[in-house]
Structures are given as structure tokens and as C-alpha cells.
Amino acid sequence: MNTLIIYDSHFGNTEQLARSVADKLASYGTVKLFRVPEGGAFERREADMLIVGGPTQRHRTSQAMRAFLESIPRSALQGQTAAAFDTRYHLSAFVTGSAATRIAAGLKRAGASLVVPPESFFVAKVEGPLEQGEIERAGEWAEQMYAAFEASKNTPQRKVEVKHQYPLMDRWL
């Protein structure tokens, strides 16, 4: 499995997690790790799995991550398997926000399919460190991604037709 991990990190916490995920997935294939490019410019690279992560800042993604996600043209990631993660305080996402959910939304808008739900990893303070056990949890998350990726390869893709009780709703869905 060829994996591309793109991350943004201000204090090194998100980078530590990205490296932990990369180390775990390296046993299954090639892994390339990149910091979000300056100016946020998107450049398509071939990968079986795209993983994007960044810190949660003021309930959202960092400015560099926002620019990166906005630079991805619609449908540019069509058929791409992806995953999203963030770092934030260990409180409800309602209180802290979650960059992971915003990253996931950006990836899906570009056509990617998430292989696992967005994941949050927790920091003790703004500048870190990561809470105890988060590096190990990132490795476990990487294993879950790999298992889900392998399972998705063995599942035939079927188009599901949805019929509603109220046919007029089909126009809006």
C-alpha cells in the first residue's frame, strides 16, 4: 500500500502523530510524509491512501490547512481512499471544535472516500505535550486504517438505489 501523509503542525505534536502513523504503515508499503506546502497549493500525487492531519485552532483548521484544502479542485480526489486526524484538547468537540471533521469534509468535497471516521488526538496544553498514550493510539489507528483499506479492496462496489416513501423528495436528494 502506498500512503501519502500530509500534515500541518505548529508545536510538533501533529507531526509526532503523523510520524507514528507513517512508522506503523511503513510495514505495509511505501509511506511519504509531507508538511502542508507553503501557500497551501495542492499537488496530486499517486497514493493508495491519503491521510491528512492538522491542529485544531479556534474551532477549525489552521490557516495553512484551510488554504491547502481549498486548493484541491472538486473531484480531484475521485476514487481516492483517505483519512483525517487532528490534535485538540481532550474536551467535547462541541467545546474545542475539530479540525479532523473539517479536513474530512474537504477531502470528501474533493471526491475522496473516508476509510475510517475522522480521529482526534489530545494535547495537554496548547504547545503540548501530547497526552500520555496518544502516540501509541495513533499507531493503533493506523492499523485500523490498513485493515479497513484491505477490507474495502475485497468488497465489490455497488451502486445503491434509494427509494423514498415520498417520491418528490428524490428531487432534493
Q: Model confidence over 24-46: pLDDT tens digits? A: 999 999 999 999 976 556 666 78
Q: How far apart are CA 61 and CA 120, in angstroms?
A: 12
Residues 6+ apart with CB under 8 A from 66: 40, 60
Q: Which three cell numbers stand for residue 44?
A: 496530486
Using 50, 70 and 90 to split pLDDT, how confident is the model at 13?
Answer: very high
Domain boundaries, the chain: 3-171
pLDDT of residue 44: 67
CATH level 2 (architecture), domain 3-171: 3-Layer(aba) Sandwich (3.40)
- R_g (Cα) of the chain, nearest Å: 17
Q: Model confidence over 39-90: pLDDT tens digits? A: 556 666 789 999 999 999 988 899 999 999 999 999 899 999 999 999 998 8
For residue 146, is pLDDT > 50? Answer: yes
For residue 148, is pLDDT > 50? Answer: yes
pLDDT of residue 123: 95
For residue 171, is pLDDT > 60? Answer: no
- Strands in the chain per DSSP E: 3-7, 31-35, 49-57, 60-61, 81-89, 113-114, 119-123
Q: Model confidence over 94-145: pLDDT tens digits? A: 778 899 999 999 999 999 999 999 999 999 998 889 999 999 999 999 999 9
Using 50, 70 and 90 to split pLDDT, how confident is the model at 9?
Answer: very high
